[in-house]
């Protein structure tokens, strides 16, 4: 993935087994995509092979996973090591999505370990951070995001072949149809940027901070034209390949 371009990551969540996943890729490959955009698709583990096969020689969208474990191998029944994902040609992987924090009890420490393991395997960790509605109401949004971020960045490199991506995803905006305004998202991206600078120095400038939470074809343009927002993580609006193609085109002004 090119650091200078905006990045759109589709997150299918727990949708599409191998058959439907292959169909999605074949349909999406017919979409005309702006050259100024990096596009990745984060798919369930069991669909990675089908997606790879349907992509053929195409490198767009880049193949991404939705999670990985921190150990290289061992007695961790049910888990998948980053090196296994690398064998499939996975180039990016979500880590710390709020749905995993909520339903599977993932902690900041676990997320940090996963991010480090991914980067070591040459996979870009897409680190998801974001506050709950209650935390925002109580004025704790900035502190929450800073704490999540600082824990996740421990041990990571700011540059190299697997650049970190930060996804700011306010929990209350995910799947709710209530997106965070581009201005509020920008405000949080402006909180995140100095944390990256402190952790990585000048190399942090190449780290993309993307926004996620009820992004769709109607609002993507506003986010993409807001300074400080380097892309989007898109859940529901990525499930239809043609609609997602439209969204990608709407992300780049013609």
Q: Which residues bind ligand PEP (CB under 6 A)?
A: 11, 13, 169, 174-175, 212-215, 233-237
Which of residues 90 and 199 has its CB atom nearest to ligand PEP in the complex? 90
Provide, rounded to whole angstroms, the least separation between the CB of residue 128 and ligand PEP. Answer: 7
Q: The tokens 């004025």 sit on which residue?
A: 139
Within 13 A of 76's CA, how many CA atoms are on the CB side? 10
Provide, rounded to whole angstroms, the least separation between the CB of residue 202 and ligand PEP. Answer: 29
Provide, rounded to whole angstroms, the least separation between the CB of residue 184 and ligand PEP. Answer: 15
- Residue facing ligand PEP at closest CB distance: 235
Which of residues 31 and 99 has its CB atom nearest to ligand PEP in the complex? 99
Could you list the active site residues? 97, 169
Phi, psi of 143 (to 5 degrees): -65, -40
Which of residues 89 and 175 has its CB atom nearest to ligand PEP in the complex? 175
């Amino acid at each position: 993935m090119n650091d200078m371009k905006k990045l759109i990551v589709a997150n299918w969540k727990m949708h599409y087994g191998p058959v439907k996943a292959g169909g999605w890729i074949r349909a999406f490959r017919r979409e005309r995509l702006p050259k100024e955009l990096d596009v990745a698709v984060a798919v369930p583990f069991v669909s990675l092979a089908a997606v790879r096969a349907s992509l053929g020689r195409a490198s767009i969208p880049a193949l991404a996973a939705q999670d990985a474990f921190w150990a290289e191998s061992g007695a961790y029944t049910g888990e998948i090591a980053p090196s296994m994902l690398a064998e499939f040609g996975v180039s990016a992987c979500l880590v710390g999505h709020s749905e995993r924090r909520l339903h599977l009890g993932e902690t900041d420490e676990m997320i940090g370990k996963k991010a480090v393991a991914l980067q070591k395997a040459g996979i870009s960790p897409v680190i998801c951070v974001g506050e709950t509605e209650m935390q925002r109401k109580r004025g704790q949004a900035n502190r929450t995001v800073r704490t999540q971020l600082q824990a996740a960045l421990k041990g990571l490199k700011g540059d190299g072949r697997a650049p970190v991506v930060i996804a700011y995803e306010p929990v209350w905006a995910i799947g709710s149809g209530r997106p965070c305004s581009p201005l509020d998202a920008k405000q949080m991206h402006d909180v995140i940027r100095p944390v990256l600078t402190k952790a990585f120095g000048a190399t942090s400038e190449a780290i993309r901070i993307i926004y996620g939470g009820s992004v769709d074809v109607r609002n993507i343009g506003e986010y993409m034209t807001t300074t400080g927002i380097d892309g989007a993580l898109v859940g529901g609006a990525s499930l239809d390949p043609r609609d997602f193609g439209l969204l990608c085109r709407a992300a780049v002004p013609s």
